[in-house]
Amino acid sequence: MKIRRYVAKNTQEAILKVKMDLGSEALILNTRKIRKKGLLGLFSKPLTEVLAAVDEYGQKLASADKTGSSQSSMSNFVDDSDKKEEKIAILENRISGIEETLRELCEKVLNGSRPTVGTEAVEDSKKLKAGFAEVFYNNLVSNEVDPEIARKVVNAAASRLPASAGVSEMAAQLSGIIAGLLGKPETIKENSEGKPVTVIFVGPTGVGKTTTLAKIAANYLLNRKKSVGLITADTYRIAAVEQLKTYAEILGIPVSVVYTPAEMQEAISQYSDKDLILIDTAGRSHKNKAQFEELKALVAASGADEIYLVLSTTTSWKNCREILKSYSFLRDYKLLFTKTDETPVLGIVLNVRYMTGKSLSYITTGQSVPDDIETVNVDKITKNLIGSYLKDGPS
């Protein structure tokens, strides 16, 4: 069964695309109204999305009678669903690889011994459980979980299970432990006293602080109907100031540029009538101590209710440890991860959470404003790290 997604101005145009691509035998699975991603999509007319399917065998028979021109027209309507299918295939291959490793391990343990009872059977069960644990450990490390952390969580899961436990029980226990370590995410809290909530974003260069701030601003303005004020202290890069000004102009919200702690306090006081004040800061190299002294002064002057340390999931764990040491002057903050669309592994999320003990908050999944940001989904990250297993075995 081949499944495709089609987007058009209206239902008639979408159905036409389906017929041209999949033929008259296609089955319509679902239709719905959607909007384009990005700020411009918020002000444009909704589009129609149609999900259609066709039996691949039947399509191959029908395609024998089609001309070269019709084949060309079909290719013109292939959309980004191909990319999504490719990502799914990669994940399926990874899980299949784990399944094959488990099977080989079971064969080595069981085929190398005669049928056993009593003490010998117990020993075989222990070996099998240890083998499962080792497979999960290797999978965590391959997903860039720190080896020490991976060993601790796997050992903790194994210690809670009987010797006869299978792979699904091990997976369930490990999933619960990792979910517990990741904790419940915390996002921006509203102020019940009628005062604006002041939030400052800090982090190294190139992690996407400005774009992330714009996504949050747009979400609170358009979806939550809150008044927002923006402040930027990222005066090291002219492009960053202009970028935030562009977002502010599109959204119709004020933005202030500050250079000193005194100007920071003045700008905050000017936004006393707002519900939310978002503050952007310059990316600081974790090797430049002088810049961090400036950042400390700005953070102190802001008197921010919440601080978000923004980190990229593409950063190596070695560099991330150095970054965390540089920002250790922050007494309390939340963790915000960006660029999850640029890496297939999310071990760094568990590593940083484990090392700092700070709460997770948001995670970004692309560059589109305001769409590509969401509250951290602990279940999704856990499955990314260990894979999905059914009661009867790997899936």
Dump pLDDT digits (tens) for 246-258.
889 988 999 999 9
Taking CA 370 as the corner, what is the angle to CA 368 and CA 373, rounded to the nearest 5 degrees? 80
Q: How far apart are CA 390 and CA 395, in angstroms?
A: 6
Same domain, 70 and 141: no
Whether 55 and 204 map to the same domain: the answer is no
Domain match, 214 and 274 both? yes
Give the orientation angle of helix 167-182 with respect to helix 347-356, to 10 degrees: 50
Q: Are residues 174 and 263 in the same domain?
A: no
Structural tokens at position 361 = 């908050």
The residue to which tokens 């699975």 are assigned? 29
Q: What is the dihedral of CA 166, 172, 176, 179, to 10 degrees?
A: 120
How much is the pLDDT for 239?
76
Q: Are strands 47-54 and 27-34 parallel, antiparallel or unpaired?
A: antiparallel
Q: Which among 58-62, 65-69, 105-109, 320-324 has the top mean pLDDT?
A: 320-324
* Same domain for 227 and 371: yes
Residue 145 within a domain = yes
How confident is the model at residue 38, as a pLDDT? 62
Domain end (from 79, 112, 144): 79
Q: How many domains does the chain have?
A: 3
Residue ranges of E strands in the chain: 2-8, 27-34, 47-54, 197-202, 228-232, 255-257, 276-280, 306-312, 334-338, 360-364, 373-375, 389-390, 393-394
Which strands form 360-364's sheet, in the order they lie side by side?
A: 255-257, 228-232, 276-280, 197-202, 306-312, 334-338, 360-364, 373-375
Reported as a pLDDT band with limits 50, 70 and 90, residue 334 is very high
Cα distances (Å, whole numbers) of residue 284 to 221, 255, 360: 29, 22, 21
Residue 57 confidence (pLDDT) above 80: no
CATH number at residue 300: 3.40.50.300
| Residue 75 CA to its chain's centroid (Å) | 31
Residue 207 inside a domain? The answer is yes
- Residue 29 within any structural domain of the chain: yes
The confidence score (pLDDT) of residue 34 equals 80
Q: Are 234 and 240 in contact (CB under 8 A)?
A: yes
Let me know if residue 238 belongs to a domain. yes
Assigned domain for 386 exists: no
**Is residue 192 one of the residues assigned to a domain?**
no
E strands, 1-88, where? 2-8, 27-34, 47-54
- At which of 51, 79, 107 does a domain end? 79
DSSP annotation of 368: -
Say what the pTM is: 0.69
What are the C-alpha distances in Å from 306 to residues 23, 91, 176, 227, 299? 55, 36, 29, 17, 10
Residue 178 structural domain: 85-184
3-class state of residue 376 by DSSP: coil
Per-residue pLDDT tens digits for 98-140: 655 665 655 554 444 444 445 554 555 566 667 778 888 999 9
241 and 357 assigned to the same domain: yes
Same domain, 265 and 214: yes
Q: Does the residue 167 lie in any domain?
A: yes
pLDDT of residue 60 exceeding 60, the answer is no
In whole angstroms, what is the distance from residue 129 CA to residue 126 CA? Answer: 5
pLDDT value, residue 187:
95
Residues in the chain: 395
Furthest CA-CA distance within the chain: 80
Looking at the structure, tell me whether residues 313 and 296 fall in a common domain: yes
338 and 259 share a domain? yes
Cα distances from 20 to residues 5, 84, 168, in angstroms, run 13, 21, 44
**Same domain (yes/no): 105, 166:** yes
Looking at the fold, whether 232 and 362 belong to one and the same domain comes out as yes
The Cα–Cα gap between 4 and 128 comes to 42
| Residue 114 and residue 69 share a domain | no
Q: What is the mean pLDDT of residues 218-236?
A: 90
CA-to-CA separations, 288 to 51, 81, 132, 295, in angstroms, rounded: 52, 44, 45, 11
Whether residue 206 is contained in a domain is answered as yes
